[in-house]
Structure 1
Amino acid sequence: MNTKRQYKTYTSEFKTEALALISEQGYSVQEAASALGIANSLLYSWKQKAEEQANSTVVPDERTELLALRKEVKQLRMEKEILKKASAFFAKEMK
Structure 2
Amino acid sequence: MSITQEEKQNKIAEFRTSDADCGSSEVQIALLTHRINTLTDHLKQNKKDHSSRRGLLAMVSRRRSLLDYLKKTNYETYLSMLERLSIRK
Q: Give the structure-1-normalised TM-score.
A: 0.29
Q: Which has the higher contact order (CA 8 A, sep 6+)?
A: 2
Q: Which has the larger radius of gyration?
A: 1
